[in-house]
Amino acid sequence: MTTPPRRPAFPSGTILGYPRIGPNRELKKAVEAFWGGRSSVEELEQVARGLRRQTRERLVGLGLGRTDSSIPESFSYYDHVLDAAVAFGAVPARFTGLVNAQGRVDLGGYFTIARGEGDSLPLEMTKWFDSNYHYLVPEIGPETVFSLASDALVQQFSEGLQQGFLTRPVIVGPVTFLALSKPSDEAPEGFVPLSRLDDLLPVYAELLRRLAEAGAEWVQLDEPALVSESLDVSSADTSAAAARAYEYLGAPDARPAIFVAAPYNSLGDALTVLAATPIEAIGLDLVRGTVPAAGAAGLDPLASKTLVGGVIDGHNVWRGDLAEAWQKLEALRALSPSVSVSTSTSLLHLPHTVEPEQLLGDQLKSWLAFADQKVEQVATLAEGLEKGVAGIRSVLEASTAALAARLAAPGVSDGAVRAREAALTAADFAREDYAVRAKAQEQALNLPFLPTTTIGSFPQTGDIRRARAQLVAGVLSDDEYQAVMRAEIARVVELQEEIGLDVIVHGEPERNDMVQYFAENLDGFAVTQNGWVQSYGTRCTRPSLLWGDVSRPKPITVDWSVFTQTLTEKPVKGMLTGPVTILAWSFVRDDQPLGETARQVALALRDEITDLQSAGITVVQVDEPALRELLPLKKADQAAYLDWSVGSFRLATSGVEASTQIHTHLCYSEFGVVIDAIDQLDADVTSIEAARSRMEVVTDIKSSGFARGIGPGVYDIHSPRVPSVGEVTELIETALASIPDRQVWVNPDCGLKTRGYDETVASLTNMLEATRAVRAKVLTH
Ligand SMILES: Nc1nc2c(c(=O)[nH]1)N[C@@H](CNc1ccc(C(=O)N[C@@H](CCC(=O)N[C@@H](CCC(=O)N[C@@H](CCC(=O)O)C(=O)O)C(=O)O)C(=O)O)cc1)CN2
Ligand code: MET
Ligand SMILES: [Zn+2]
Tens digit of pLDDT for each residue in 30-44? Answer: 999 999 999 999 999
Question: What is the number of the ligand closest to the CA of 508?
Answer: 2
Average pLDDT over residues 82-103: 95
| Cα–Cα distance, 97 to 109 (Å, whole number) | 9
Query: 434-460+497-513+570-779: which CATH architecture?
Result: Alpha-Beta Barrel (3.20)
The H-or-E segment that residue 472 falls in is helix 462-472
Q: What backbone torsions phi and psi does residue 599 show, to the nearest 5 degrees?
A: -70, -35
**Which option is the CATH number for 26-408: 3.80.10.10, 3.30.470.30, 1.10.3470.10, 3.20.20.210?**
3.20.20.210
Q: Is 21 near ligand 2, meaning CB less than 6 Å away?
A: no
Catalytic residue, chosen from 506, 663, 718, 781, is 718
**Which residue has the CA at smallest separation from atom 3 of ligand 2?**
751
The pLDDT of residue 362 is 93
pLDDT of 1 above 60:
no
**Number of the ligand 2 atom closest to the C-alpha atom of 625:** 2
Tell me how far apart the alpha carbons of residues 226 and 241 are, in angstroms, rounded to a whole number.
10
What mean pLDDT do residues 147-168 have? 97
Q: Is 27 in the pocket of ligand 1 (CB under 6 A)?
A: no
Nearest to 319 by CA among 358, 361, 284, 371: 371
Residue 247, annotated ligand binder? no
Count of CB atoms within 10 A of residue 62's CB?
A: 18
Question: How many Å apart are CA 72 and CA 570, to the nearest integer?
Answer: 55
pLDDT value at residue 257:
98
Number of the ligand closest to the Cα of 629: 1
3-state secondary structure of 368: strand
| Strand ranges for 286-363 from DSSP E | 306-312, 339-343
First to last CA, the chain: 81
Query: How many CA atoms does the CB half-sphere of 331 hold within 13 Å?
Result: 16
CA 411 – ligand 3 centroid, Å: 32
Q: Label residue 9 by pLDDT band (50, 70, 90).
A: very high
- One-letter amino acid of 502: D
- Integer angstrom CA distances of residue 438 from 151, 236, 445: 60, 46, 10
The H or E element containing residue 397 is helix 393-408
Question: What confidence tens digit (pLDDT) does each residue in 122-134 have?
Answer: 999 899 999 999 9
Say which amino acid occupies 426: A
Q: In whole angstroms, what is the distance from residue 103 CA to residue 84 CA?
A: 15
d(CA 599, CA 595): 6
Give residue 213 CA to ligand 2 midpoint distance, Å: 48
Give the range among 243-247, 598-602, 699-703 with minimum mean pLDDT.
699-703
66 is in an annotated binding site: no
Given a cut of 90, whether residue 743 has pLDDT beyond it is yes
**SS3 assignment, position 757:** helix
Identify which of 311, 324, 268 has the alpha carbon closest to the alpha carbon of residue 293. Answer: 268
Query: For residues 137 and 85, what is the distance between their CA atoms, to the nearest angstrom?
Result: 9
Testing ligand 2's pocket by substitution, the residue of 457, 510, 664 carrying the most ligand atoms inside 8 A of its CB is 457
| Helix 152-162 / helix 80-87 crossing angle, nearest 10 deg | 110
Please name the amino acid found at residue 415: G
Contact predicate 350/39, CB 8 Å: no
pLDDT at 3: 66
Mean pLDDT of 14-25: 98
Of 135, 541, 750, the residue with max ligand 1 atoms within 8 A of its CB, to mutate for a pocket test, comes to 541
Query: Burial code of 757-766, b = ≥16 C-beta within 10 A, e = fewer?
Result: eebbbebbbb
At 400, is the secondary structure helix, strand, or coil?
helix
User: pLDDT for 623-632, tens place per residue?
Assistant: 999 999 999 9
What is the C-alpha separation between 445 and 660, in angstroms, rounded?
Answer: 9
Strand ranges of the sheet holding 168-172, from the earlier edge strand across to the other edge: 72-73, 168-172, 218-222, 257-262, 281-285, 306-312, 339-343
> Does the annotation list 446 as a binding residue?
no
80 is in an annotated binding site: no
> What is the rounded CA–CA span in Å between residue 264 and residue 258?
20
Q: Are 371 and 58 in contact (CB under 8 A)?
A: no
Kindly compute the dihedral angle of the four CA atoms of residues 549, 286, 347, 71, in this order, to the nearest 10 degrees: 150
Cα(635) to centroid of ligand 3, in Å?
26
Closest C-alpha among 745, 317, 698 to residue 544: 317
DSSP 6: P
pLDDT digits (tens, 9 = 90+) for 295-347: 888 999 999 999 999 999 999 999 999 999 999 999 999 999 999 999 999 99
Q: How far apart are CA 40 and CA 106, in angstroms?
A: 13
| % of the chain beyond a pLDDT of 90 | 92
Q: HEC profile for 24-35?
A: CCHHHHHHHHHH
DSSP 269: T
pLDDT at 720: 83
Among the residues of 68-218, which ranges form H helices?
80-87, 107-115, 152-162, 174-180, 197-214
How far apart CA 629 and CA 408 sit, in angstroms, is 31
Helical spans, DSSP H, in 65-181: 80-87, 107-115, 152-162, 174-180
* 694: pLDDT strictly greater than 90: no
Q: Which are the contacts of 436, defined by CB distance < 8 A and separation ≥ 6?
A: 658
| 425 alpha carbon – ligand 3 mean position (Å) | 31
| 667 marked as part of a ligand binding site | yes
- Distant-in-sequence, close-in-space partners of 503: CB < 8 Å, separation ≥ 6: 447, 451, 452, 453, 570, 571, 572, 573, 619
Question: Which one, of 81, 227, 202, 221, lies nearest residue 140 by Cα?
Answer: 81
CA distance 202 to 147: 9
Q: What is the CA radius of gyration of the chain?
A: 26
Do the beta carbons of residue 156 and residue 166 sit within 8 Å? no
How high is the mean pLDDT of the chain? 96
How far is Cα 486 from Cα 480, in angstroms, rounded to an integer?
A: 10
What pLDDT shows up at residue 718?
Answer: 85
* Phi, psi dihedrals of residue 578, rounded to the nearest 5°: -75, 165
Query: Cα separation of 642 and 636, whole Å?
Result: 12
Best residue for ligand 2 mutational test, from 750, 753, 755, 764 (most atoms within 8 Å of Cβ): 750
Give the atom of ligand 1 at the shortest distance from the alpha carbon of 585.
Answer: 1
How do 544-551 and 523-526 pair as beta strands? antiparallel
Hey, which residues does 712 pair with through a beta bridge? 688
CA 244, 245, 246, 251 torsion: positive or negative?
positive
Separation between Cα atoms, residue 724 and residue 445, nearest integer Å: 30
Alpha-carbon gap, residue 587 to 370, rounded angstroms: 11
178-225 pLDDT, tens digit each = 999 999 999 999 999 999 999 999 999 999 999 999 999 999 999 999
> Tens digit of pLDDT for each residue in 354-404?
999 999 999 999 999 999 999 999 999 999 999 999 999 999 999 999 999
Please report, for residues 96, 106, 149, 355, the alpha-carbon distance to residue 101 in angstroms, rounded to integers and kept in the order given.
11, 11, 11, 48
Ligand 1: atom nearest CA of 540 is 45
Q: What is the mean pLDDT of residues 227-249?
A: 97
**What pLDDT does residue 117 have?**
87
Residue among 268, 272, 279, 381 at smallest CA distance from 320 = 381
To the query of whether residue 718 is one of the catalytic residues in this protein, the response is: yes
Alpha helices, H only, 322-392: 322-332, 362-366, 371-387
In the chain, what are the domain boundaries? 26-408, 434-460+497-513+570-779
Ligand located closest to 667 CA:
3
Alpha carbon of 759 to ligand 2 centroid (Å): 18
pLDDT at res. 616: 98
**pLDDT score of 337:** 97
